[in-house]
Homo-oligomer: A and B are copies of this chain.
Protein backbone atom coordinates (compact mmCIF):
# COMPACT_ATOMS: atom_id res chain seq x y z
CA UNK A 1 0.00 0.00 0.00
CA UNK A 2 1.16 3.52 -0.82
CA UNK A 3 0.00 5.99 1.81
CA UNK A 4 -0.09 9.65 0.82
CA UNK A 5 -0.23 11.47 4.12
CA UNK A 6 -0.81 15.15 4.72
CA UNK A 7 1.22 16.69 7.56
CA UNK A 8 -0.83 19.83 7.98
CA UNK A 9 0.76 23.22 8.37
CA UNK A 10 2.48 23.74 11.70
CA UNK A 11 4.78 21.25 13.34
CA UNK A 12 5.08 17.50 13.99
CA UNK A 13 1.89 17.31 16.07
CA UNK A 14 -0.28 18.54 13.21
CA UNK A 15 -0.37 15.09 11.63
CA UNK A 16 -3.67 13.28 12.17
CA UNK A 17 -3.86 10.32 14.54
CA UNK A 18 -4.70 8.12 11.52
CA UNK A 19 -1.72 9.52 9.65
CA UNK A 20 0.63 8.91 12.55
CA UNK A 21 -0.55 5.33 12.90
CA UNK A 22 0.08 4.78 9.18
CA UNK A 23 3.56 6.35 9.33
CA UNK A 24 4.52 4.10 12.21
CA UNK A 25 3.33 0.99 10.35
CA UNK A 26 5.25 1.68 7.13
CA UNK A 27 8.57 0.13 6.23
CA UNK A 28 9.74 3.17 4.26
CA UNK A 29 8.69 6.78 4.84
CA UNK A 30 9.46 9.54 2.33
CA UNK A 31 9.21 13.22 3.17
CA UNK A 32 8.36 15.37 0.16
CA UNK A 33 10.71 18.29 0.57
CA UNK A 34 10.26 20.74 -2.28
CA UNK A 35 6.72 22.13 -2.51
CA UNK A 36 6.37 23.35 1.08
CA UNK A 37 7.97 23.27 4.53
CA UNK A 38 6.83 22.97 8.13
CA UNK A 39 8.18 25.08 10.98
CA UNK A 40 10.24 22.07 12.06
CA UNK A 41 12.76 20.07 10.05
CA UNK A 42 13.29 16.40 9.19
CA UNK A 43 15.02 15.54 12.46
CA UNK A 44 12.17 16.85 14.62
CA UNK A 45 9.69 14.84 12.58
CA UNK A 46 11.83 11.70 12.83
CA UNK A 47 11.97 12.01 16.58
CA UNK A 48 8.24 12.62 16.86
CA UNK A 49 7.24 9.78 14.55
CA UNK A 50 9.91 7.41 15.80
CA UNK A 51 10.82 6.70 12.19
CA UNK A 52 13.65 7.50 9.84
CA UNK A 53 12.55 9.69 6.95
CA UNK A 54 13.93 9.68 3.42
CA UNK A 55 13.99 13.16 1.90
CA UNK A 56 12.26 13.19 -1.48
CA UNK A 57 13.33 16.11 -3.63
CA UNK A 58 11.76 17.00 -6.97
CA UNK A 59 14.25 14.86 -8.86
CA UNK A 60 13.43 11.74 -6.84
CA UNK A 61 9.66 12.21 -7.09
CA UNK A 62 9.62 13.07 -10.78
CA UNK A 63 12.31 10.70 -11.98
CA UNK A 64 12.75 8.16 -9.22
CA UNK A 65 9.13 7.17 -8.65
CA UNK A 66 10.04 3.52 -9.20
CA UNK A 67 12.38 3.71 -6.23
CA UNK A 68 9.62 5.17 -4.03
CA UNK A 69 7.12 2.54 -5.16
CA UNK A 70 9.53 -0.41 -4.93
CA UNK A 71 7.86 -3.39 -3.17
CA UNK A 72 4.86 -1.23 -2.23
CA UNK A 73 2.65 -4.08 -3.42
CA UNK A 74 3.94 -6.28 -0.59
CA UNK A 75 4.91 -3.72 2.03
CA UNK A 76 3.61 -0.33 3.18
CA UNK A 77 5.29 2.85 2.00
CA UNK A 78 4.37 6.35 3.18
CA UNK A 79 4.81 9.55 1.24
CA UNK A 80 4.49 12.58 3.51
CA UNK A 81 3.44 15.94 2.16
CA UNK A 82 3.24 19.24 4.03
CA UNK A 83 -0.38 20.38 3.98
CA UNK A 84 -2.61 17.99 2.03
CA UNK A 85 -1.19 15.49 -0.50
CA UNK A 86 -3.15 16.92 -3.44
CA UNK A 87 -1.88 20.46 -3.58
CA UNK A 88 0.79 19.82 -6.21
CA UNK A 89 0.51 18.21 -9.61
CA UNK A 90 3.45 15.86 -9.21
CA UNK A 91 1.65 13.79 -6.62
CA UNK A 92 -1.09 12.89 -9.09
CA UNK A 93 1.74 11.50 -11.16
CA UNK A 94 2.92 9.31 -8.28
CA UNK A 95 -0.61 7.99 -7.78
CA UNK A 96 -0.95 7.18 -11.47
CA UNK A 97 2.35 5.28 -11.43
CA UNK A 98 1.23 3.32 -8.38
CA UNK A 99 -2.05 2.38 -10.05
CA UNK A 100 -0.22 1.32 -13.22
CA UNK A 101 2.03 -0.89 -11.11
CA UNK A 102 -0.98 -2.47 -9.42
CA UNK A 103 -0.19 -0.87 -6.06
CA UNK A 104 -3.19 0.23 -4.00
CA UNK A 105 -3.01 3.70 -2.53
CA UNK A 106 -4.70 5.57 0.25
CA UNK A 107 -4.86 9.28 1.02
CA UNK A 108 -4.86 10.63 4.57
CA UNK A 109 -5.91 14.24 4.32
CA UNK A 110 -4.94 17.24 6.37
CA UNK A 111 -5.27 21.00 6.39
CA UNK A 112 -3.54 22.97 3.68
CA UNK A 113 -3.24 26.68 3.01
CA UNK A 114 -6.15 26.25 0.55
CA UNK A 115 -8.62 25.80 3.40
CA UNK A 116 -6.78 27.00 6.52
CA UNK A 117 -6.65 30.51 5.05
CA UNK A 118 -10.27 30.77 6.19
CA UNK A 119 -9.01 31.60 9.68
CA UNK A 120 -8.09 35.12 8.55
CA UNK A 121 -11.82 35.77 8.58
CA UNK A 122 -12.55 35.72 4.86
CA UNK A 123 -15.17 33.16 3.81
CA UNK A 124 -13.76 30.31 1.75
CA UNK A 125 -16.72 30.27 -0.61
CA UNK A 126 -15.99 33.89 -1.52
CA UNK A 127 -12.61 32.99 -3.01
CA UNK A 128 -12.05 32.77 -6.75
CA UNK A 129 -9.20 31.09 -8.57
CA UNK A 130 -5.97 30.71 -6.58
CA UNK A 131 -2.85 32.22 -8.12
CA UNK A 132 0.90 31.74 -7.74
CA UNK A 133 3.41 34.58 -7.52
CA UNK A 134 6.88 33.69 -8.73
CA UNK A 135 10.16 35.45 -8.07
CA UNK A 136 10.90 37.76 -10.96
CA UNK A 137 14.26 37.55 -12.67
CA UNK A 138 15.98 40.17 -14.78
CA UNK A 139 14.49 38.68 -17.92
CA UNK A 140 11.25 37.09 -16.71
CA UNK A 141 8.60 39.24 -15.06
CA UNK A 142 5.27 37.45 -15.52
CA UNK A 143 2.13 39.43 -14.69
CA UNK A 144 -0.63 36.96 -15.51
CA UNK A 145 -1.56 36.49 -11.85
CA UNK A 146 -2.35 40.21 -11.64
CA UNK A 147 -5.04 39.81 -14.28
CA UNK A 148 -6.50 36.80 -12.50
CA UNK A 149 -6.67 38.77 -9.25
CA UNK A 150 -8.48 41.59 -11.08
CA UNK A 151 -10.89 39.10 -12.64
CA UNK A 152 -11.68 37.66 -9.21
CA UNK A 153 -12.14 41.14 -7.76
CA UNK A 154 -14.43 42.17 -10.59
CA UNK A 155 -16.60 39.19 -9.60
CA UNK A 156 -16.42 40.27 -5.94
CA UNK A 157 -14.12 37.36 -5.02
CA UNK A 158 -11.00 37.14 -2.85
CA UNK A 159 -7.76 35.74 -4.25
CA UNK A 160 -5.36 33.49 -2.39
CA UNK A 161 -1.83 34.14 -3.66
CA UNK A 162 0.65 31.34 -3.07
CA UNK A 163 4.15 32.75 -2.85
CA UNK A 164 7.18 31.28 -4.57
CA UNK A 165 9.47 28.78 -2.88
CA UNK A 166 12.90 28.04 -4.31
CA UNK A 167 14.50 24.95 -2.84
CA UNK A 168 17.51 23.22 -4.32
CA UNK A 169 17.61 25.62 -7.27
CA UNK A 170 20.72 25.84 -9.43
CA UNK A 171 22.04 29.09 -10.83
CA UNK A 172 21.92 29.27 -14.62
CA UNK A 173 25.71 29.23 -14.56
CA UNK A 174 25.97 26.08 -12.47
CA UNK A 175 23.22 24.41 -14.48
CA UNK A 176 25.03 25.10 -17.75
CA UNK A 177 28.25 23.76 -16.30
CA UNK A 178 26.37 20.70 -15.04
CA UNK A 179 27.43 21.51 -11.48
CA UNK A 180 25.05 20.20 -8.85
CA UNK A 181 25.61 23.20 -6.60
CA UNK A 182 22.40 24.55 -5.14
CA UNK A 183 21.48 28.10 -4.19
CA UNK A 184 20.31 28.82 -0.63
CA UNK A 185 16.55 28.29 -0.24
CA UNK A 186 14.39 31.34 -0.92
CA UNK A 187 10.85 31.97 0.25
CA UNK A 188 8.89 34.92 -1.10
CA UNK A 189 7.69 37.19 1.71
CA UNK A 190 4.41 39.06 1.86
CA UNK A 191 6.43 42.26 1.58
CA UNK A 192 8.08 41.09 -1.64
CA UNK A 193 4.76 39.93 -3.06
CA UNK A 194 3.12 43.27 -2.24
CA UNK A 195 6.03 45.09 -3.84
CA UNK A 196 5.69 43.06 -7.08
CA UNK A 197 1.99 43.77 -7.23
CA UNK A 198 2.55 47.48 -6.73
CA UNK A 199 5.15 47.50 -9.51
CA UNK A 200 2.55 45.99 -11.84
CA UNK A 201 -0.12 48.48 -10.70
CA UNK A 202 2.24 51.40 -11.43
CA UNK A 203 3.19 50.01 -14.82
CA UNK A 204 -0.47 49.52 -15.75
CA UNK A 205 -1.29 53.01 -14.49
CA UNK A 206 1.46 54.46 -16.67
CA UNK A 207 0.00 52.57 -19.59
CA UNK A 208 -3.36 54.21 -18.89
CA UNK A 209 -5.06 50.91 -18.05
CA UNK A 210 -8.14 50.76 -15.85
CA UNK A 211 -6.95 49.47 -12.49
CA UNK A 212 -8.51 46.39 -10.92
CA UNK A 213 -6.62 46.99 -7.70
CA UNK A 214 -4.58 49.82 -6.23
CA UNK A 215 -2.01 50.47 -3.52
CA UNK A 216 -4.94 51.01 -1.13
CA UNK A 217 -6.61 47.64 -1.77
CA UNK A 218 -7.11 45.76 1.48
CA UNK A 219 -5.05 42.57 1.62
CA UNK A 220 -4.24 39.99 4.26
CA UNK A 221 -0.72 38.73 4.77
CA UNK A 222 -0.27 35.49 6.69
CA UNK A 223 2.89 33.80 7.93
CA UNK A 224 3.41 30.32 9.41
CA UNK A 225 -0.33 29.65 9.37
CA UNK A 226 -1.25 26.94 11.86
CA UNK A 227 1.98 27.30 13.86
CA UNK A 228 2.09 28.64 17.42
CA UNK A 229 3.63 31.87 16.23
CA UNK A 230 1.43 32.43 13.18
CA UNK A 231 0.89 36.01 12.05
CA UNK A 232 -2.17 37.40 10.31
CA UNK A 233 -1.96 41.01 9.16
CA UNK A 234 -4.69 42.96 7.43
CA UNK A 235 -3.30 46.00 5.66
CA UNK A 236 -3.34 47.88 2.41
CA UNK A 237 -0.98 46.63 -0.26
CA UNK A 238 1.14 49.73 0.31
CA UNK A 239 1.36 49.04 4.06
CA UNK A 240 2.27 45.40 3.50
CA UNK A 241 5.43 46.34 1.60
CA UNK A 242 6.97 47.44 4.88
CA UNK A 243 5.51 44.68 7.07
CA UNK A 244 7.95 42.05 8.26
CA UNK A 245 5.96 38.91 9.06
CA UNK A 246 9.06 36.90 9.98
CA UNK A 247 10.09 33.41 8.99
CA UNK A 248 8.46 31.44 6.12
CA UNK A 249 6.01 30.40 4.81
CA UNK A 250 4.06 33.46 3.79
CA UNK A 251 0.87 33.78 1.77
CA UNK A 252 -1.16 36.76 0.66
CA UNK A 253 -4.86 37.30 0.10
CA UNK A 254 -6.19 40.13 -2.04
CA UNK A 255 -9.73 40.84 -0.91
CA UNK A 256 -12.74 41.17 -3.18
CA UNK A 257 -16.08 42.40 -1.94
CA UNK A 258 -16.31 42.20 1.84
CA UNK A 259 -19.24 41.11 3.93
CA UNK A 260 -19.62 43.03 7.23
CA UNK A 261 -18.79 39.89 9.23
CA UNK A 262 -15.59 39.52 7.20
CA UNK A 263 -14.70 43.14 7.96
CA UNK A 264 -15.25 42.51 11.66
CA UNK A 265 -12.90 39.54 11.51
CA UNK A 266 -10.27 41.43 9.48
CA UNK A 267 -10.37 44.22 12.07
CA UNK A 268 -8.95 41.80 14.69
CA UNK A 269 -5.57 41.85 12.94
CA UNK A 270 -5.63 45.14 11.06
CA UNK A 271 -2.84 47.70 10.73
CA UNK A 272 -3.96 51.19 11.81
CA UNK A 273 -5.79 52.84 8.92
CA UNK A 274 -5.92 49.70 6.81
CA UNK A 275 -9.68 49.58 6.64
CA UNK A 276 -10.33 53.32 6.32
CA UNK A 277 -10.66 53.16 2.55
CA UNK A 278 -13.49 50.64 2.68
CA UNK A 279 -16.63 52.08 1.21
CA UNK A 280 -20.04 50.83 2.26
CA UNK A 281 -21.77 49.82 -0.95
CA UNK A 282 -25.03 49.00 0.75
CA UNK A 283 -26.07 47.71 4.13
CA UNK A 284 -24.48 44.33 3.52
CA UNK A 285 -21.37 44.82 1.37
CA UNK A 286 -18.14 46.72 1.43
CA UNK A 287 -15.48 47.20 -1.18
CA UNK A 288 -12.23 49.14 -1.49
- On A, residues with C-beta under 8 Å from B are 6, 8-10, 13-18, 20-21, 83-87, 89, 92-93, 95-96, 99, 107, 109-112, 114-116, 118-119, 121, 123-132, 151, 155, 157, 162, 225-226, 261-262, 264-265, 268
Q: Are B116 and A268 in contact (CB under 8 A)?
A: no
Of all A-B residue pairs in the complex, the 6 with the closest CB atoms, nearest first, are A86-B118, A109-B111, A13-B18, A115-B115, A114-B115, A125-B130
Closest CB-CB distance, A226 to chain B, in whole Å? 5
B119 and A125 contacting across the interface, CB-CB below 8 Å: no
Main secondary structure of the interface of A (DSSP, over half): mixed
A109 touches B115 (CB 8 A): yes
Closest CB in chain B relative to A120 CB, distance in Å: 9
- CA of A20 to CA of B17, assembled, Å: 8
Pick the contact of A265: B10, B92, B110 (CB < 8 A): B92
Q: Which of B15, B155, B265 contacts A17 (CB 8 A)?
A: B15
List the number of copies, as a whole number.
Answer: 2
B109 touches A121 (CB 8 A): no
- Quick check: A132 and B128 within 8 Å, CB to CB? no
Interface pair A114/B109, CB less than 8 Å apart: no
Question: Please, how many angstroms separate the alpha-carbon atoms of A261 and B121 in the complex?
Answer: 34
Q: Is the CB of A8 within 8 A of B119?
A: no
Residues of B within 8 A of A15 (CB): 16-17
- Whether B128 and A129, one on each chain, are in contact in the complex, defined by CB atoms closer than 8 angstroms, is yes
